[in-house]
Amino acid sequence: MKSIIKKTILILIFQIFVYPLFIFSEASNKSTLAPTYSQRDQIVYARIFNLFDNWDKRPSPLEIRDLIVNYKLSKEDILMAAKIYFSGVFPVAVKQINSINFFQSSEEELNLITPYIINIVKALISKAEEISNISNVNFIIFGRDGELIYDVCKTLGLKATLFPGSKDIFRNGKPLDLEKADDKGIRNAKLLFETYGITSESIQNSMQHFIMVDTGFKGSVGSSFRKALSYLFKASLEDEGFTKKFPLYLICKDESGAGFTHGKMFDQSEQLEITFDKNIDNIENILPRVKQLNLKRSQLFGFGNKFTEYFIAVALQLMPKFHQTYDNIKSNNGRTFGVPTQKVISNDINNLEKSSVNASFIHPVAALLLQYKIIQNILNLIPDNIESYNPIDHQVTLKSS
């Protein structure tokens, strides 16, 4: 009820004080009052407000796709809704949004790496088709770093899951640190995996296959995921059938062996073999956010000649995120999700000069704009009447009439 009242108040504020300021008569070039507040705008803004209300759950790419396809969602819609929403709860965020360069570097970087993300998805489809029919393969993409890859997969109609892939949720007594869990903790962990489509039945089903995906660089999250699974479902990490059921591919893998703390488990991750349709020379100096880190190829060890893969992985890791790292779980309507416990907005998402490749920049508005942009980019490449799309051979399945 409180949420409904809040949304009603926000829409009234927009109708009375804000919306009229942005309606102009082209004929007279003078401001005029909006005659009505359209039903379309009411629906779009209410749904955006709801996304921000649920700050601990990243928006579904299918919802963003629906807003784009059926309501013509725009960048301006998101920015205006964000200004209204945060004006009362976090005014600093409004000041950030009003900054000229608030989203500029993130948008520029996303536009540059979108073709590379598509090539990554093509490579994943190739791996899936080596295993089975693509419809039998579920991509387990670790968030938060793999979020944009997940968005592309879901927009293209592939089976994909964005699994809470933060180290924090697997350690120090957190929900997936199962060696320290009591019976309730074990039950909750099972519910979590079931929510993301991983059950004892799906593991035992010889027709069902999974492919784990992470940006890089050691495969630690994937190994922790396998360890939790083996604990829950009594499978041996040494069982070849188990490891084949859950292969782990990294966008860029460090082959140096440095920092391996779990021994053999790390040897089970693989470098995803990606064919890039185009290569930007000195890409690290072209990507505006990555460039700030001043990374030198001569200082990178363990990556062979996989420099493009490395810098694309870094770019994905440094993109603004919707929320803080996953470190807890929450149940709702019989489903259990990974969530953050801290509600955070970064003071500055554009200054990366003193950051590491694993730095975390959190801003729900910037993250939502990125999600909108990547989905819009993909929709621009495929037919309007698409049901699913296979980018590896440009085969489409159209919606039934």
Phi, psi torsion values for 317, nearest 5 degrees: -70, -30
Q: Are residues 380 and 242 in the same domain?
A: yes
Choose one of 98, 117, 150: the last residue of a domain. Answer: 98
Give the number of domains in the chain. 2
Tell me the percentage of the chain whose pLDDT exceeds 90.
67
- 365 and 391 in a common domain: yes
**Same domain? 119 vs 139:** yes
Token duo for residue 52: 């921000």
| End-of-domain residue from the set 50, 76, 98 | 98
210 lies in which domain range? 104-398
The verdict on 255 and 371 lying in the same domain is yes
Q: How far apart are CA 227 and CA 229, in angstroms?
A: 5
* Res 381: pLDDT: 84
The predicted pLDDT at position 278 comes to 80
**173 and 192 both lie in a single domain:** yes
User: Both 377 and 251 in a single domain?
Assistant: yes
- Identity of residue 379: L
215 and 130, same structural domain? Answer: yes
83-87, 114-118, 258-262, 301-305, range with the lowest pLDDT: 258-262
Note the Cα 53 to chain centre separation in Å. Answer: 18
Q: What is the pTM of this model?
A: 0.87
Could you tell me if 108 and 94 lie in one domain? no
Helix 39-53 and helix 75-89, axial crossing angle in degrees, nearest 10? 60
- Which of 46 and 35 is assigned the larger pLDDT? 46
Distance from CA of residue 321 to its chain's centroid? Answer: 8
Tell whether 71 and 130 lie within a shared domain: no
Identity of the highest mean pLDDT range in 54-58, 204-208, 258-262: 54-58
Given a cut of 80, is residue 81 above it in pLDDT? yes
- For residues 208 and 272, membership in a common domain is answered with yes
Quick one: pLDDT band at residue 297, thresholds 50, 70, 90? Answer: very high
Same domain, 13 and 40: yes
**What CA–CA distance (Å, rounded) separates 60 from 75?**
17
Domain boundary (80, 98, 116) is at 98
The verdict on 136 and 93 lying in the same domain is no
Work out the mean pLDDT of the chain and round it to a whole number. 85
